[in-house]
């Protein structure tokens, strides 16, 4: 009996050891499966996070493309507006120069006409003087006085007309100069306004981009 017990004890011990080894193996397998499942979940979460980040980057890229397109459109519109304004100012400058030349030509024409009238008046005075010298004394004196009065009236009238016309042309010239100064001032104000508007647009785009960067 003792011999049988001695033989059974190692067998029981071996059975227990094998049982523990199987439990330990099963425990290791379960632990490995748990780790694999956790790693798979982490990997899935990481892939999902990368996909979300990629979508966000794509959305940000589309936003940047839209912003750049709007910026280019604003720059193009401002450039076209400046070109149109330059053309308008150039046309107004040419028209103003033409008006000034036209006024000067009219002034010269009027001055020549007045000079001709004065020359004819002086010539008439000489003729009247020669004719008066050939006439009788009394009749000569009467005619001379009448002619003198008439000539003086004509000269006074011509002088008054000439001075009035010169004053009118001078006023027109001053008005034209004022118009030129006003046009130059409007041009400078317009260019300054366009520059400020352009800078405000650029600043607004930069602020919008910074806000988007900070938000993301």
Query: Chunked in runs of 10, what are the mean pLDDT values of the chain (216 residues)?
Result: 50 72 84 86 87 85 79 81 85 87 86 86 82 66 75 82 85 86 84 80 69 62
Flag whether the pTM goes above 0.75: no
User: pLDDT at position 55, please?
Assistant: 85
Cα(104)–Cα(163) distance, rounded to whole angstroms?
Answer: 16
DSSP state at residue 30: H
The phi, psi pair for 133, rounded to 5°, reads -65, -30
Cα(78)–Cα(198) distance, rounded to whole angstroms?
Answer: 7
Rounding to the nearest 10 degrees, give the CA dihedral for residues 120, 124, 125, 126: 100
């Amino acid at each position: 009996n003792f011999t049988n017990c001695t033989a059974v004890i190692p067998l029981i011990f071996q059975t227990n050891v094998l049982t523990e080894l199987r439990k330990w193996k099963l425990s290791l397998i379960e632990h490995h499966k748990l780790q694999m499942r956790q790693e798979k979940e982490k990997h899935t979460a990481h892939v999902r996070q990368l996909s979300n980040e990629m979508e966000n980057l794509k959305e940000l890229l589309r936003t940047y493309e839209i912003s750049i397109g709007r910026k280019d459109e604003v720059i193009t519109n401002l450039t076209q507006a400046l070109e149109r304004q330059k053309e308008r100012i150039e046309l107004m400058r040419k028209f103003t120069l033409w008006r000034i030349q036209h006024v000067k030509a009219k002034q010269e024409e009027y001055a020549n006409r007045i000079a001709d009238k004065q020359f004819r008046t002086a010539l008439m005075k000489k003729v009247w003087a020669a004719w008066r010298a050939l006439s009788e004394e009394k009749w000569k004196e009467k005619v001379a006085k009448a002619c003198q009065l008439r000539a003086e009236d004509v000269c006074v009238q011509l002088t008054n007309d000439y001075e009035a016309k010169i004053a009118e042309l001078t006023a027109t010239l001053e008005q034209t100069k004022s118009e030129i100064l006003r046009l130059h001032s409007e041009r400078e104000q317009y260019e300054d306004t366009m520059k400020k508007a352009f800078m405000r647009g650029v600043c607004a785009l930069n602020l919008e981009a910074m806000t988007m960067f900070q938000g993301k």
